[in-house]
Structure 1
Amino acid sequence: MRRVLGILSGKGGVGKTTVSTNLGLAMHNLGEDVVVVDADLKNPTLGIQLGVFDYDTTLHEVMEKDMPLLEAMYIHRTGLKFVPSHVSLDYLGIDAGKLRKVFQDVYFTAIIDSPPGLGKEALSVMEVCDEAIVIATPSLPDVAGALRTIEVAKSMGIVIKGIVLNKVMNKNYEVGAGEIEAVSGVKVLGVVPWDNNILHSVSRKEPVVEFNPYAGSAISFYELASRLTGVDYKKPSMARMKSFFKILSNTL
């Protein structure tokens, strides 16, 4: 079934790519047919996070040569299916407006890692989205940017599934989920804690839901995936978590 889900943000640095890869793998592990697409055409990092630096075909070639999207699809060792964009500066001038045709015949769930902000490239990505999740950290500037993004997305007819608060440390200076919901009128769909496991997982070139599925952040991603797919997710028991952490501590 066609589903184009944009991962949007009002500004950079909020963790869109981390959310995209982990949400994608969590949904895959719950049985969803999902492909994560790096549509940040000028500053792509999805392939880098997954440890894939050299590819014959990317989203750029798909757009330039009118190719089927799946010809640029790769499968990570974790099972995650993804479409990278090219890191070469030669592709900076590509017309982002060509994205609309790329997603016309999508028959699966496409998670689109969007450029940040509301520039031309980001708006071109938003034009192909049926639904969107807006990512923000619980800082006032990020939340303000998220609110602007939500307004624009709604005006384009995009269904806002919710807001995901990322890098949450539960400090008293952070903007709370309740405050954000009250101001935006949009549900906070997920809260991902600040987690050093994510930093370790990036260095290992794999999503944290694979690196440590019992980490707080990984559990948050699975809960988010469960809400989006309707598939039940059972939190791991404390005994399994303790056993895993004992093994993990011996490998780091």
Structure 2
Amino acid sequence: MRDQADRLREIISRLKTQKEESSPLMESTPNQKKCRVLTITSGKGGVGKTTISVNLALSLGKMGYRVVILDADLGLANIDVLFGISPSYTLLDVIKNEKTIFDTLTEGPMNVKFISGGCGMQEMANLEKEQLESIIEKISFLENVADIILIDTGAGISESVIRFVLAADEVILITTPEPTSIMDAYALVKTVSYNDKNKIIQLVVNRARSEKEALHVTRKLSNAVETFLNIKPYSLGYIMYDSNIEKAIKSQEPFIISHPRTLVSRQFSEIAHKLMRVNQDRSKNTYGLRGFLHKFINVNNASWYR
């Protein structure tokens, strides 16, 4: 716990040295279509976050939504590995003004495309304001080809992860029944709560051995977050443990494609439907991708630890 607190203080100290820039581009434009931006994250690594990102995206694609996944795991980006497709370009090529944002889109199955972030998002934080405005304008064109953008972050409490969480309209938090996973998920929400008590947190329990276990984990984490952090998280559902998921990863084929008629594939579909059903009103208030990008850059005055 001591190491975790020290880590949080170090992150805050770095961010407080940055200067906040306000921008008119974040203001909504009447009748302008905006896509929804959701960050998928976890308190620790190894909980199946990226697997869920890919299969949730495909489930949404099957429903007819145009989905773009931004692989924002700055250390271990591997969306392309799970799809079995190698991208030609990354977001960094756009920032270097060598390619357009559409050049970085890699076509996947079922209405899903993905972008490898490389170190592009991290690089954005170091640009001058005029350069930033230009890059944001370029990336914002994705709203023409996407209804939903899923941001697959790295795991744990780091500066980049918290930026993505605070900037997104909504957050999908992945945990497993392991006590360390639950504790780290709580720690991540605690960090976010210091800056945004109204952040929409949605829970998914992965690798549950039974419905009873999944519901127990959901209640345990939800009660702790609501009691001590005054945030009410929402449950999107759970994914049962299935050894075939590991086989699908090794074969580089998304699970719901290789095993479409399994219980787990149905659970991915149920989570996708619930995500869209309960969030219809929320989508009207989204800042869209442009707003997300500005918030991502300006998340520098966050008071993350008290």
Q: TM-score, normalised by structure 2?
A: 0.65
Tell me the equivalent position of 1:246: none
> Structure 2 unaligned runs (5+)?
1-33, 127-131, 227-232, 279-306
> Is it true that 1:130 corresponds to 2:130 in the alignment?
no
Query: How many residues are paired up?
Result: 226
- Percent of matched pairs sharing the same residue: 26
Q: 1:120 deviation in Å?
A: 1.8
Query: Is residue 35 of structure 2 the alignment partner of residue 2 of structure 1?
Result: yes
Q: Aligned equivalents of 1:70 and 1:153: distance in 2?
A: 32
Determine if the alignment matches structure 1 residue 159 to structure 2 residue 199: yes
Larger helix proportion, structure 1 or 2? 2
Instruction: Report the equivalent of 1:192.
Output: 239
Q: Is the counterpart of residue 73 in structure 1 residue 105 in structure 2?
A: yes
Unaligned 5+ residue runs, structure 1? 232-252
Q: CA deviation at 1:77?
A: 4.0
Greater shift, 151-160 or 24-33, is seen at 151-160
Is residue 250 of structure 2 the alignment partner of residue 203 of structure 1? Answer: yes
Alpha-carbon contact 1:165-1:191 (below 8 Å) kept: yes
Q: Which has the higher contact order (CA 8 A, sep 6+)?
A: 2
Q: Kindly indicate whether the alpha-carbon contact (under 8 Å) linking 2:58 and 2:111 is maintained by their aligned counterparts in 1.
A: yes
Are the aligned partners of 2:64 and 2:111 in contact in 1 as well (CA < 8 Å)?
Answer: no
Map of 1:62-141 to 2, 5 A cutoff? 62-65=94-97, 68-86=100-118, 94-95=122-123, 97=125, 101=136, 104=140, 106-107=142-143, 108-141=147-180
* Aligned-residue offset at 1:29: 0.5
Cα deviation 1:36-57 (Å, max 9, x = unaligned): 110012211111111123x321
Name which of structure 1's ranges 207-216 and 121-130 shifts more when overlaid on structure 2: 121-130
CA distance in 2, matches of 1:118, 1:57: 28
* Structure 1 stretches of 4+ moved >4 Å: 91-94, 102-106, 171-175
Is the alpha carbon distance of 1:111 and 1:171 closer, same or farther for their aligned partners in structure 2, counting shifts above 3 Å?
closer
Q: Name the Cα RMSD after superposition.
A: 2.9
Deviation readout 1:140-164 (Å, 9 max, x if unpaired): 1111111122233344446324111
* Post-superposition CA distance 1:53-91 (Å, at most 9, x none): 3x32112323443865433111124542111244xxxx5
Displacement after TM superposition at 1:22 (Å): 0.4
* 2:92 aligned partner: 60
Contact 1:96 1:124 in 2 (8 A): no
User: Partner residue of 1:180?
Assistant: 221
Distance 1:226 1:131, change over 3 A: same
What is the TM-score of this pair, normalised by structure 1?
Answer: 0.78
Please tell me whether the aligned partners of residues 38 and 113 of structure 1 are also in contact (alpha carbons under 8 angstroms): yes
Summarize the Cα distance change of 1:130–1:93 in structure 2 as closer, same or farther, 3 Å threshold: closer
Q: Which has the larger radius of gyration?
A: 2
